[in-house]
Structure 1
């Protein structure tokens, strides 16, 4: 089974909210996730995350500390995903590929239909103090 390494951004704002996006394409279309993507050859996790958020949301982020590394096996691949706290340097999360996007609070985490791997991060977010 193929293993895919990805990164995701836990982009927070001054109101202790985190940005979530709804996939607009692929076999997991319509599922909610923390934005990010695949790490390309020669990239660090932080470089990949900056590139992905700039490409998909026209927004520059500052990648801060790593929150988690989770693994999840889907039917056709094994996912290894690292999640990083990020803050916005410039931009307004303009959706180029996502179906929808929203700012969530700890109280609204359970209102979205999360992709299976992202549910593991949601479970961790419920247990910690947010930025």
Structure 2
């Protein structure tokens, strides 16, 4: 897939994946613990490494961040957001837990919420299109 790159004097560009882990009618939401977006909520995931397919990156990142295994089912949204520190292209995927419950290693909190309750949280801007897509799908 794409690699991280930047042009001198410009922000770096990252291709990132997010897991929308669904259990019945609830979705796992996690709060970032570090970095420029610390304290904001997100769907867990991370950067795509060179040579990785998005689904491979997502499976790896969730194992690293939450210590659990997922099955990647289908894409939800892809969006690009320009932060002050970088430009992020975020692809989100509907996923299911395969084994082990999630445990926090990098996040400070986690909540399982119904789609209608997702707006209760203060989301990282790149995750907002996924939030909207989930809410529209349940109407």
TM over 0.5: yes
Number of equivalent positions: 129
Return 5+ residue gaps in structure 1 as ranges: none
Q: SS in structure 1 opposite 2:58?
A: helix
**TM-score in terms of structure 1 length:** 0.94
Q: Provide the alpha-carbon RMSD of the alignment.
A: 1.2
CA distance in 2, matches of 1:26, 1:76: 10
Partner of 2:96: 87
CA distance in 1, matches of 2:53, 2:35: 25
**TM-score in terms of structure 2 length:** 0.89
CA distance in 2, matches of 1:76, 1:36: 18
The structure having more radius of gyration, on CA atoms, is: 2
- Bigger drift between 97-106 and 115-124 goes to 115-124
Return 5+ residue gaps in structure 2 as ranges: 1-10
Structure 2 residue 135 is the aligned partner of structure 1 residue 126: yes
Q: 1:112 aligns with which of 118, 121, 124?
A: 121
CA distance in 2, matches of 1:123, 1:129: 10
Q: 4+ runs of 1 displaced by more than 3 Å?
A: none
